[in-house]
Structure 1
Amino acid sequence: MLARNAEALYWIGRYVERADDTARILDVALHQLLEDSSVDPDQASRVLLRVLGIEAPKQELNVWSLTDVVAYSTDNRGGSSIVAAITAARENAKSAREVTSSEIWECLNTTYNALGERQRSAKRLGPHGFLSFIESRAAMFAGLADSTLSRDDGYRFMLLGRAIERVDMTVRLLLSRVGDSASSPAWVTLLRSAGAHDTYLRTYRGVLDASRVVEFMLLDRLFPRSVYYSLRLAEDNLDELVHSPQSRIGATAEAQRLLGRARSELEFVQPGVLLESLESRLAGLQKTCSDVGEALALQYFHVTPWVAWSDAGAGLVSRQGDA
């Protein structure tokens, strides 16, 4: 597979997951701001922007200005807003049409073309409809990817991007709750933001406790949005991409080593001590996501510059040009 196509598919997976997770998080946050008058809108909005890695504006924030920044901003640096993420996913799909299905392209293109109308409607009726639209289109995209793509390298790159982005977003959510009391209602907000509330209640028989919430979001082996599950998914897809037998000594690639180390550290940690070192553990996972992205770029996406040799009389001179 061409490096540019592999990179495009990887970032399609990341951007669609980012749009989906951002819509979920923003929807829950807006409901909390509207329903709880004791919450300071400006402070809560700045906490949310910090979680999402978006630079906060200088003016005071409220429900509407927060939605403008997180949902509708067209600043495409890093695809931080929902509109920017969908736009970036569509542009990557446009550049890799030969390795995506027509159904996936139509899904992303239709979603992109509907953003303007949905945004205008949301400004009249409220943002919930816009955010629900993004969540449903992301679910449609995931279903189409699973049902129309061959399980080849392209599919693996897309799943790899989705899994790494999901780890990063879940870690950001948990970082926002570091220092909260064990009985804080913010833990319920966290579960709802991750789409994990109902599953958590069924798993722990309705008992809500901060240590169990952290345990569930970090270590659960069955919930698809837990950090452990996503790391395992990323690791399995990367193993499929390598297409080589396991090395007798260690991992065969840097990205494999990083994912395997992060997964094993979670796999064998004692659940009861998670809250004691939560911030440092989450910071380490966030750095792992960044390092894995860089390692994948070096291993698969960066093209080696071409080298031309010429006889300059005194010897051979190497000229390097951009690939």
Structure 2
Amino acid sequence: MLSRIAESLFWIGRYVERVDGTARLVDVVRLSMLEGGLAGHDESANMVLSVVMGGDPDARVTYSDLRDRLVFDPTSASSISGSWNAARDNARRARETLSTDLWAAINTAWLRWGRLGPPDGTARHLSWARERSILIGGIADSTMSHDEAWDFLVLGRYLERADMTARIITTGTLPTGGLSWQSVLSSCGGNQAFMRSNQGLFNDRNVATFLVLNREFPRSVLYALAEAEATLERLDPDHTPIGFTGEGRRLLGRIRTSLEYRLPTNIINELPQQMARVEQMVTAVSDAVGARYFPGGPELSWTEELR
């Protein structure tokens, strides 16, 4: 496979997953605004924006600012609009590799996003973005051959999911302005799954443990890291009895085992630091994958990935 095609597939997976994660997070802040006071919701908006985009946590940010920057800013690949634009551009480059149904779904999402009405109907926009990104993921899984092209798309999806879930969990650890753990769980779509696995025993530590370490919930950090690692193993043509030839696979295995084989109590007690390590490791893995499979491409960062 041409490296430019593989790179486009990788970033399609990341951008479509980013649409879903960002829409979930912003919608939780919107719902908390409806339930609480304006002062509290502005503080939450400020903290969420600083966690997701790395801004100044002491800056004055309103929910309108959060909405404009994370939903409707077409120039930022951290926003939903920017992610749709970038996903469609990458799909156009990999047009001959995508299934007809998948190309149509991505192209239709890009076209309809700009026709949903003025950028003030946030609830409608967020709900539509979540549903469309899930639809695209399902179409990809059911209409593409599960070969290396699909593996690159899935690798991007799970790296982005691990990163986004870690960022969302971080908002629950903030002493002021962070989301409640109930809101964090809702933003990951895990309410029903959590209640089933914990027999309805809700507390903050149980929620944090579930979202970080559950091996069966597809939006947990551990699940996403394990799936990304398994995908890299399929893509790695070199097998050696000692160590790993791929730096990305080594890094993923290191962070996954550091979570999976430590005592859950130790992880939860150091949750902000552990989630920061996950975010840093995802960036390092993405760089390693790019250096090995997409040589010669431009350097990309989380907030400026305009391709």
In the superposition, the TM-score normalised over structure 2's length comes to 0.91
Larger RCO (CA within 8 A; separation ≥ 6) = 2
**In the TM superposition, what are the counterparts of 1:1-323 in structure 2 within 5 Å?**
1-37=1-37, 39-53=39-53, 55=55, 61-76=61-76, 79-120=77-118, 123=120, 126-180=121-175, 186-245=180-239, 247-303=240-296
Letter in 1 for 2:21: D
Q: Deviation of residue 60 (structure 1)? A: 5.1
Separation of aligned partners in 2, 1:70 and 1:175: 17
Over aligned residues, Cα RMSD in angstroms?
Answer: 2.1
Q: Deviation of residue 23 (structure 1)? A: 0.4
- Alignment CA distance shift 1:263-1:70 (3 Å): same
**1:153-194 C-alpha deviation (Å, 9 max, x unpaired):** 11000000000000100111122222559xx97000000011
Partner of 1:310: none
Separation of aligned partners in 2, 1:150 and 1:129: 33
Separation of aligned partners in 2, 1:212 and 1:281: 16
- Alignment CA distance shift 1:111-1:57 (3 Å): farther
* Greater gyration radius: 1
Separation of aligned partners in 1, 2:60 and 2:280: 31
Q: Deviation of residue 9 (structure 1)? A: 0.2
Letter in 2 for 1:203: S
Partner of 2:304: none
Separation of aligned partners in 2, 1:165 and 1:133: 20
Calculate percent identity across the aligned residue pairs: 35
With 215-224 and 269-278 compared, the bigger mean Cα shift is at 269-278
Q: Is the 8 A contact 1:72 1:119 kept in 2?
A: no
Letter in 2 for 1:111: A
Q: Deviation of residue 38 (structure 1)? A: 6.4
Unpaired runs of 5+ residues, structure 2, are 298-307
Letter in 2 for 1:90: R
- Alignment CA distance shift 1:72-1:119 (3 Å): farther
Q: Deviation of residue 281 (structure 1)? A: 1.4
**1:62-107 C-alpha deviation (Å, 9 max, x unpaired):** 333431221111113xx11100001100000001101111111111
Partner of 1:319: none
Separation of aligned partners in 2, 1:217 and 1:67: 25
Separation of aligned partners in 1, 2:27 and 2:224: 23
Letter in 2 for 1:302: P
Separation of aligned partners in 1, 2:193 and 2:182: 12
Give 3-state SS (helix, strand or coil) of 1:97's partner. Answer: coil
**1:182-234 C-alpha deviation (Å, 9 max, x unpaired):** xx970000000111112111111111122211111111000000111111100
In the superposition, the TM-score normalised over structure 1's length comes to 0.86
Q: Deviation of residue 59 (structure 1)? A: 8.7
Separation of aligned partners in 2, 1:178 and 1:57: 14
Separation of aligned partners in 2, 1:23 and 1:94: 24
Alignment coverage as a number of residue pairs:
296
